[in-house]
Amino acid sequence: MFISTAFAQTAGAAAGTDSMFGQFGQMIPLVLMFVVLYFVMIRPQMKRQKEVRTMIEALAKGDEVVTSGGLLGKVTKINETLLTLEVASGVELQVQRSAVVQVLPKGTVK
């Protein structure tokens, strides 16, 4: 039930013998996990965000696009933050530029 004094003293002496390398050795797995996390998750996500940003900046009148809501349309007007899509003959909608998720090849939307 009680810890003997001799046992507590030996445990304290063993803990004091850790070397400097032992303390850094415990941090190595944590550092390796962060490096793997960076290359597997963070870096590809940043690359994808850059591609989306350049796609949105390159939008031009006449492009056929898909929005995040699933609308397909042809760009008729472009503003700083908004663009106008023609989704059917005579039907135009205004959407935010950031809602565009994909630019389709010409002739896809009829």
pLDDT at 87: 94
Alpha helices in the chain (DSSP H): 5-15, 20-37, 43-57
Instruction: Tell me the mean pLDDT per 10 residues along the chain, length 110.
Output: 58 53 84 94 95 94 95 94 94 95 89
- For 67-80, b where at least 16 C-beta lie within 10 A, e where not — what string? beeeeebbbeeeee
Q: Running DSSP on this structure, what letter comes out for residue 80?
A: S
**Contact partners, residue 62, CB within 8 Å, separation at least 6:** 74, 75, 106
pLDDT at 90: 93
pLDDT at 2: 66
pLDDT at 75: 96
Name which CATH class applies to 59-104. Answer: mainly beta
Tell me the sheet residues that pair with 77.
84
Residue-range domain boundaries for the chain: 18-55, 59-104
Q: The whole model's pTM is what? A: 0.64
pLDDT at 20: 64
